[in-house]
Structure 1
Amino acid sequence: MATNRRTLLKAATALPALGALPWRHARAQAAATIRIGVLNDQSGMYRDISGQTAVACARQAVADFGAQGFTVEILSADHQNRPDVGSNIARQWIDRDGVDLILDVTTSSVALAVNDICREKNKVHLNSTAATSDLTGARCAPTTVHWTYDTYMLARSTGGAMVRAGGDSWYFITADYAFGHALERDTGEFVRQAGGRVLGNVRTPFPGTTDFSSYLVQAQASRAKVIGFANAGADTTNCIKQAAEFGLTRRGVKLASLLMFITDVHALGLQTAQGLVCSETFYWDLNDRTRAFTQRVLPNMGGLRPAMTQAGCYAGVLHYLKAVQDMGVAAAKASGVEAVNRMKAMPTDDDAFGPGSIRADGRKIHPAYLFEVKAPGESRGPWDYYKLLQTTAAEEAFRPVAQGGCPLIRA
């Protein structure tokens, strides 16, 4: 009887330990897992430049990084281009789901809101698709890296180049929100610096405008040589389609799409888009490395080619994972500031953008390219849409660090 009692006591003592094994295993597994949340537009006007194709590019980065002693989980959500929705998702992801990195974040207003949350929560914000240069200016954060492009880069690459090519008078059709205002402001400054003039502008409601005919008539009446579209997504494609219907280019007017993506060109078709000038930092057919990356991700792209924003998601995730490997998972999860510091300390290199670096203000540095859309007869096959006009070197493509007003630099 005593033996049986002792046996039962031993068994009872062992039960909690046995029961704790799965919990300890789950805890250990969570500690060795990096969670990345892709937060972007998956149903609205920017879904073609972000959406699930951005998720596919992030997953490709994980696949290319390979097994390095820790696991990576990717979540995704649609912020519907609303700062309140994006903020709620970001807080839930960090507080409840243990997300370590929030990626992509289309739309400048949503990006700035999420930027503040990641700073507060000490988690990494890696932005690829928002255009506002405030992310590395007045609103810069020690937890943020801004990849791919911004309004300053677009303005410098497109505005100055078109003035030098003879387009010395401009009229802007501008989306009436923070991104459009910043893009018009920055481009106008480069036009004037190059010796050109800004003859006027018109602000279009955002969102909800589909008929741009009255705005195009105002632009034409200004007699400007260049009409600059300081908008994006469906606004840009609608402007270009309606400008083609009006025959503006046949009258000698140049159209400058200050933010246009290869997916926009694909939607428009070369017959409509031919002759348009735009700036990008990635083109799938630019060189052997960009083609190799595109071939790897292509099976998961639904027949599309990656836009520069989606390529930025790939490159940013790959570099972040390299930093995690270098500093250790525990340290990376504990502090977004330290993870970003490690990313800044390491040179970048990937098949989408080639070698580059991340500045102290969080700006990722790489070349910018000025492209002209090919005429139908110049295209050699599917998605062969661009011809390269000009390259802006990495050290010149983005706003000088001393001019941004980033508090990190002042400190």
Structure 2
Amino acid sequence: MSNGKLGGLALEARSDREAKRWIYRYRQGEKVVEYQLGSFPQMKLGEARQAHRDAFELVRQGIDPRKQRKAIKAANQAAWTMGEAFTRWIVFYATAPARGGQPPTERTVLKQKGRWRLHLEKRLGGAYVRDMNRRLLIEVLEEIASSAREEARQCLTLLRQLLDYCEDREQIYDNPAAGLKPAKVKARPGKPRERHLKLPELKELWEVLGESRNTEGLASTAMLSVTVANAIRLLILTGARRAEVAAMRWDEITKDTWHIHASRTKSAREHTVHLSHQALAILEEQKKLTTSDFVFASSRDVEKPIHYDSITTAIARLQGRARKVPDTEAPLNHLEHFTVHDLRRSVATLWTETFLADPLLVEAMLAHVPPRLVGTYNKGKRYKMQVDVWERWGEMIAGFGEVGAASNLVELSRHRT
């Protein structure tokens, strides 16, 4: 069977074999070599002719098609899929130093795993790393950005780091995500949230948290448990992050001090929080509710803490925003929408406005990484100032249940600035 002027293409049928096969016979030195192109009828005539042309061109260049096929097979076996690459990279990522010379926290690693599983694995997991290109990444990231712009931005960062790792290990020649900006995939972050609760709004939330609870553990409104309500209260009293509060352990507490290990903070730096009298009262109540190692133990499994999303869900329920159809009867439905993180911003704002606390002092109380130019020589004195703010804040919160709480604000500011 001829293939134009190339020659050597044949369809072989043998009595000892049921299947037929396409072969290409060519000369290599003094020997005639047979090279199998594929099986018939799986490989059609047109496909066989194209495979013949490719093999003929290799022979013309002095390349043995059989060795070429072995080399390609070996390269394919050594090539990573994106799924395999992510599995390798996440192990590397979890132990590689990040900001401050420390590896990322366990929570950050879990977030990256969840991001990959939720947004990227289905589209990219089975594809080879070497086949990644800028057009494909933009397409995938734009699809994510259509419903979650911030997640698209985070996915871009993940892909940039993942493909850098692959480039260093010669799985791809150039990183197609390098230089790709969030704006190119419609993932430019929106305007930063500025919502913070005024003191009367915070007072209303505090009172609702108290009214929703009962001694049986479940809220009378079925919106949140005593444990979750207490976790939100401690969050308000300390300004700590929801994940730090949710997973708080008894062995982290020494008298009136809460030591949060670096592995549990976003900045990967150990953080110390003073517990006011009001915060300690919440812990005393929790001691009566659980024998777990965790202060805020899960009602389903006391060996685990409540999930930090329980706090988010509780805040949404109190506003009637936990479901698609708003609950206009929810106790805080009339307030402008706020999130758990808005509470942290609210606390920081009120510390600054009410007590005239130095913004850098407040940043330290929130466990934000300090500017490089800020000296570290006066930590002892600054912590005493932080303790004073936490105590005064606790007294103000305690005043929410008293007549004339608003006037207490003026008195505290007047006597303790």
Q: Does TM, normalized by the shorter one, top 0.5?
A: no
TM normalised by structure 2 equals 0.25
- Tell which structure's C-alpha radius of gyration is larger: 2
TM normalised by structure 1 equals 0.25
Greater share of strand residues, 1 or 2?
1
